[in-house]
């Protein structure tokens, strides 16, 4: 959760050892992609996710640990560093059906499909080159900047088009907006997206 009163968390303690957490926006986006990948076994999502967050954890060492404890730590990392409002990632060792991470804002935008619009909008509004900020800009800061993009940026305009509702009687405006909505419609959710 974003706070101006407290410095963001940057590490986590596991079994008495402090680990730095990689909460850079690009790492979190890759993590979300991995969580949505149906080709990755649910139990491995926890292991891979922990390695993505914590970097220097040995995969073989993780496989020897109690899975429920690993899952608990992973969910704690999701809550602390990605934020509330996300579905809790519940995995069991048997690989039962589990919820997937969803893109924010109920599919008004996609971090994957709208990447060009987001990149251009950050450059336009803030002068921030997101490619140069990979590994640096935290997920929390990225989300705050994304939600504050001005209405004259391409990303905000596309989201506005997608969320547009038909006004009472202006048929010409309705036709124009319907065409724009079709142009900027997000692709249907695909397996592994």
Rounded average pLDDT over 94-103: 46
Say which range, 66-70, 99-103, 147-151, has the weakest mean pLDDT.
99-103
Residue 90 is predicted with a pLDDT of 53
Q: What is the pLDDT of residues 133-143, one digit of tens each?
A: 999 999 989 99
Give yes or no for a contact between 61 and 17, defined as CB atoms under 8 angstroms apart.
Answer: no
Residue 161's alpha-carbon distances to 57, 60, 150, 156, in angstroms, are 44, 48, 14, 9
Q: How confident is the model at residue 193 (pLDDT cuts 50, 70, 90)?
A: very low
């Amino acid at each position: 959760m974003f706070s101006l009163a407290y410095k963001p968390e940057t590490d986590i303690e596991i079994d008495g050892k402090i680990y730095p957490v990689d909460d850079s926006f690009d790492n979190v986006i890759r993590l979300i992609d991995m969580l949505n990948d149906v080709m990755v076994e649910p139990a491995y999502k926890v292991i891979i996710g922990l390695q993505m967050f914590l970097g220097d954890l040995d995969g073989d060492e993780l496989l020897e640990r109690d899975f429920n404890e690993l899952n608990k730590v992973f969910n704690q990392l999701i809550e602390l560093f990605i934020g509330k409002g996300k579905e809790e990632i519940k995995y069991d060792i048997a690989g039962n059906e589990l919820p997937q991470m969803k893109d924010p804002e109920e599919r008004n935008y996609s971090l994957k499909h709208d990447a060009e619009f987001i990149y251009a909008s950050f450059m336009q509004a803030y002068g921030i080159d997101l490619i140069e900020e990979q590994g640096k800009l935290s997920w929390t800061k990225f989300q705050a900047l994304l939600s504050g993009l001005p209405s004259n940026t391409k990303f905000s305009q596309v989201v506005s088009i997608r969320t547009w509702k038909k006004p009472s009687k202006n048929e010409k405006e309705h036709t124009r907006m319907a065409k724009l909505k079709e142009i900027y419609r997000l692709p249907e959710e695909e397996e592994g997206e």
